[in-house]
Amino acid sequence: MTTAPRKMQHLASLKLNCSVRERSLNPLIKVEGLAYVVIQRPDIDKASAFFADFGLLLDKHTGDSIYLRGRSELHHALVIEKGAAKFDRVGLTASAKDMQTLADHFSVPIQHRKPPMGGRFVCLQDPNGLTIEVNCELAKLPPIDRSLTPSWNTSDTKTRVNETVRKKIAPPPVHKLGHTVHSVRAIKESVHWYQDTFGLIVSDFQFLQDDNTPTVAFLRCDLGDTPTDHHTIAMALTPNLGHEHTAFELDSMEDIAIGQECMRKSQYKHSWGIGRHILGSQIFDYWRDSAGDMFEHYADGDLFDANTHTGYHLFNRDAQHQWGPAMSANFSGLDRPWNVLKNVVKRLFSDDELSVEKLKGFSRAMKTGAGTE
């Protein structure tokens, strides 16, 4: 059997034997989208400067909190609160009826939030202890128009004549918050909780060789026939528990390149990019703030409606990008070996899914290219 049919047969086997389902047949509710993330930092002004250079726009500074937004009128995208450095919580949006359903099911109160965010929310904990706020009636913001850009002269179509291109080298404004990715203790438990509670659908799974439990799951909102981002929340089984990265959308690859130049001039820590992902198809570029949290610029991501089937894929060193530089040690966390070792030792003696066999599988996968499966 040649390589291509053998690979297709293997992927079909993964689909047949996968221990994690693609979606819930009867979820409690169906969330509408990702609203915001909240981080805590001891110096909120320093943290705000990073995100201003990243392209987020300062909206409100109220005592111990800073509210940042994108160009979209949707709502605030990032809140920075004063406190010990950590990724604190995630905000989702839902209808008022669905929020009431969650309040009744989990016996939690519906809380009212003061301006500038406003609205009402319920507060839940996911299986990994991450705080999830499900919101309705968040305050909308006045939209910010996108600056006019010169037309693009392609090889076949020349529409820009007697006009030059002079791009301003400044942080390109973020459009919106796109997705957030977290390392979890147990993929099956975590994915099923988000499916059963919020109606999320798995867009794609990734697996280690000879393992029927996925190591990565990309989940999107179920908006029926309305297309939505390839993933709103993603989960991975990696040595370092917790926040992996959060992504913000820009308009174009050129914006990402300008953003990279601005971030480099400000001497922030570059993690990985520029390249194009395979799953989700985004053009990407990753950066770390002073606390070590990773944030992504992306553009040109996939949109799926609820009818698109779940994909099944093998994880290997080439599985994350179509082109671009090789995945960096900073992105994978391997440039901090003592931190990885500490987390691995701690987790091997707990009841989560990380095991010696899975660690061996990760090691083999990172040495394996897509053409050698």
What are the mean pLDDT values of the chain's consecutive 10-residue runs (373 residues total)?
Answer: 64 86 97 98 97 97 95 94 97 98 98 96 97 96 84 92 91 96 95 98 94 94 98 92 96 97 97 98 98 97 98 90 94 79 74 75 72 42
Cis? peptide before 274, omega within 30° of 0: yes
SS3 47: helix
pLDDT computed for residue 369 by the predictor: 66
Q: If 0-12 CB within 10 Å is exposed, 13-18 middle and 19+ buried, where does residue 191 land?
A: buried
Which residues fall within 8 angstroms of residue 110, CB to CB, at 6 or more apart?
99, 100, 103, 120, 121, 122
- Selected from 3.30.70.100, 3.30.420.40, 3.10.180.10, 3.40.30.10, the CATH number assigned to the domain covering 3-142+172-372 reads 3.10.180.10
Phi and psi at 281, nearest 5°, equal: 70, 5
Helix (H) or strand (E) holding 136: strand 131-136
The residue type at 214: P
Closest by Cα among 109, 118, 153, 114 to 136? 118
Closest by Cα among 206, 249, 220 to 308? 220
Q: What is the pTM of this model?
A: 0.94
- CB count in 10 Å sphere of residue 226: 11
pLDDT computed for residue 2 by the predictor: 56
Residue 264 tokens read as 């480099």
The residue type at 29: I
> CA–CA separation, 233 vs 213, rounded Å?
18
